[in-house]
């Protein structure tokens, strides 16, 4: 019985470990550090740090010595790009999890008129409502449901206006 249990648990561990990623090339499981220097190495700190910068308590997160994991300048010094002679230097995020190096991130050309929600002026909401309307009206036997939804929304809007109107007379 114990042999069967041991075999099953080792098979589970093997399958579980084979599903784990080798690294985190985009720093999705940590926090990306930012720097004003475009030629500096970008680093990734573990999630438990809360952020990846030189904040006041970065060297003592959770009461532990965490300077080499959470203080961005210290992590940057320990990367293999900046410390190649050290055999324990921090490798690229594609090879290991945080803390790790993302390398020198090239500048991204941002268009002068970047698309924002403010520039959208509510067009996205109109598109969403139109999609909902066509979906509901397209269902056989649901012809009156869109009108009922609109009436409920209108009643809710009217009730909200009455509730927030400080000049109402009753």
Per-residue pLDDT of 13-30, as tens digits, reads 444 444 444 566 788 888
> So what's the pLDDT on residue 139?
77
Does a structural domain hold residue 127? yes
The Cα–Cα gap between 112 and 24 comes to 31
Give per-residue pLDDT as tens, 65-113: 989 899 999 998 888 888 888 888 888 888 888 888 888 876 656 666 6
> So what's the pLDDT on residue 5?
46
Nearest partner of 36 among 51, 48, 15, 53, judged by Cα: 53
- 99 and 139 together in one domain: no
- 55 and 126 together in one domain: no
The Cα–Cα gap between 132 and 155 comes to 19
Does a structural domain hold residue 66? yes
Q: What domain range is 37 assigned to?
A: 22-103
The Cα–Cα gap between 82 and 89 comes to 9
> So what's the pLDDT on residue 109?
64
> So what's the pLDDT on residue 70?
92
Q: Quick check: helix, strand or coil at residue 32? A: strand
Give per-residue pLDDT as tens, 122-138: 677 788 888 887 887 77
DSSP for residue 108 = P
b/e map of 74-90 (b: 16 or more CB within 10 Å)? bbbbbbbbbeeeeeeeb
Does a structural domain hold residue 143? yes
- 97 and 122 together in one domain: no
- 140 and 85 together in one domain: no
Does a structural domain hold residue 59? yes
Does a structural domain hold residue 94? yes
- 43 and 95 together in one domain: yes
- 89 and 144 together in one domain: no
pTM tops 0.95: no
Mean pLDDT of the chain: 77
The CA-atom distances, in angstroms, between 37 and each of 34, 55, 104, 137 are 9, 18, 10, 55
């Amino acid at each position: 019985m114990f042999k069967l249990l041991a075999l099953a648990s080792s098979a589970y561990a093997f399958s579980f470990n084979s599903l784990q990623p080798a690294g985190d090339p985009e720093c999705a499981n940590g926090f990306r550090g930012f720097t004003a220097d475009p030629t500096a190495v970008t680093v990734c700190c573990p999630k438990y740090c809360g952020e990846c910068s030189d904040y006041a308590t970065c060297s003592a997160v959770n009461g532990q010595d965490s300077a080499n994991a959470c203080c961005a300048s210290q992590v940057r010094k320990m990367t293999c790009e900046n410390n190649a002679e050290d055999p324990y230097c921090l490798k690229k995020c594609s090879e290991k999890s945080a803390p790790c190096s993302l390398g020198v991130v090239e500048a991204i050309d941002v268009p002068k008129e970047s698309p924002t929600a403010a520039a959208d002026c509510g067009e996205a909401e109109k598109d969403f409502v139109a999609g909902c309307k066509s979906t509901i009206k397209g269902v056989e036997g649901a012809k009156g449901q869109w009108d009922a939804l609109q009436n409920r929304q209108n009643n809710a809007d009217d009730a909200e206006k009455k509730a927030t109107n400080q000049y109402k007379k009753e």
